[in-house]
Structure 1
Amino acid sequence: MRLNTRGLIIRTSEVGESDRAVTVLTKDCGVVHAFARRSRAAKSALVSATQLFCYSELTLFEGKTANTIDDAQPIEVFFELRQDLARLSLAQYFCELVGVLAPEDDGAGDFLRLLLNAFYLMCKQKRSLPIIKAAVEMRMLSLAGYMPDLICCKDCGAYEADLMLFSPRERTITCDSCCKGDYKGMVPLHRGALTALRHTIYADFSKLFSFSLSKEGLKELNRASESYIINTLERSFQTLDFYHSIKDDENSADSNQEDKNHET
């Protein structure tokens, strides 16, 4: 059976001398695994359309034992993701994450839309990476059926307080008064960070990335979203570790430069 669809290449591996095994996030069929034969050959029409991060028009053939890509035309290659290590590593993390959370053999239009919008914003640098990261993590988990309850304190019903605590395991928030100083396993969120965390799961998709936050607020937000990912999926991600190593190196370089500026 042949299927014409659009999809984002989220994983590739080399097979033999000229073939690729690819994982594609499609609108109609979710996550699809397929072979792109001779896609690494210099003159192949599949070279660019089956590379990582490429959004392509695809013709898939479903065989008895494996799927193959008969034809592919690139729509968007997101070239800018490869020009910066932080953007590259974050995009790789998103691809690994969606490969775990998006369904197979079912529609995944919202997952695809989420990644395409995130990649566009990263390429054009229209939002900071910490904002994009937290929004993608929380919205992707919510799409997969893991939406937390962030409406009010689970104990007293308070909508907000100067400090609220998010429990990644219980998927709830508790006000500081009800916690009574017991913060074990909880992520502290001040008002701005809590508002942003709520935004990532409750906002209309068209406004998902449209918020700003202080530097400290972004740290709280990302600590909450990342803790939620790791606790919910009960695993870590090498791509996420690599992203952090890149950002740590950048922060160290920025600090060294600030010290030099003060010295002069």
Structure 2
Amino acid sequence: MNQDFVSLLLDLASQWAPWVALAVARPFGFTLMFAVFYWGHLTTGAIRMAYATALALPALSFDPAAPDLAALAMPYPVALVKELALGALLGFVASAPLLVAVVAGGILDTYRGATQGSPDPSGGQAPPVATLLAVASLWLFANTGGFWVTAAMIYSSYDVWPVNAVLPAPVGGAAAVAAVVGHVVSGGLLLAAPPLLLLMASDIAHLVSSKFGKSINVTQMAFSSKALFMVIILPFFMLVAVQALRDDYKWLGTVVPMARKVFP
């Protein structure tokens, strides 16, 4: 009796395992490229697979009579790769609002000299303002219901690219990538512009002081004064930055149309 039951379960698992893998593939591909999983240190395969499986649960409420793999419009390995690629594309495009924060922080840290020095022996070196903005963007992602938004985005992508449909040939990949990179760079520059102008004014003040006070070399204090000035203006900058980053999350609503420019 027990052997028959176990045999029945194994037969069902063998019938449905390919379809389960196909249902999980697109959400899992999304986690491979989405910046939240890297910045939140959710890099283990188990966490990513748990997230992907949770999103695939509606597709796993199946009828015991498994359909034949021959019903697919393409070979099964090709369909699996297609789903992973689509998920990775969606994750890359959806990461743009978070990358804006890091670009803005990197610009400010580079200008004030925070990136100078030897690398951190314990791992990757992350400038302080960039790290602060990255943490703020992660908090905003969770606070604004980002996981619900990304789940809805992945589900809506199945209307555009069904699992059983053949993926069209890419036509505007370069333009779509350029649009994402342009959004990240322009957003980062716009976010960093106000404090950057103040830091430039600090440099101009040091330059004028060095011309009129030649007995004192004030230029040696330029980096220290910029660091102190950044600490003073940082609370006010974060008030503006948080609102700007919150507004930038509207980008998530354009992810599927943007990806559709690559695969129409």
TM-score bracket, shorter-length normalisation: under 0.3
**Higher RCO (CA 8 Å, separation ≥ 6 residues):** 2
Structure number, greater radius of gyration? 2
Higher helix share: 2
Structure 2 length normalisation: TM-score?
A: 0.24
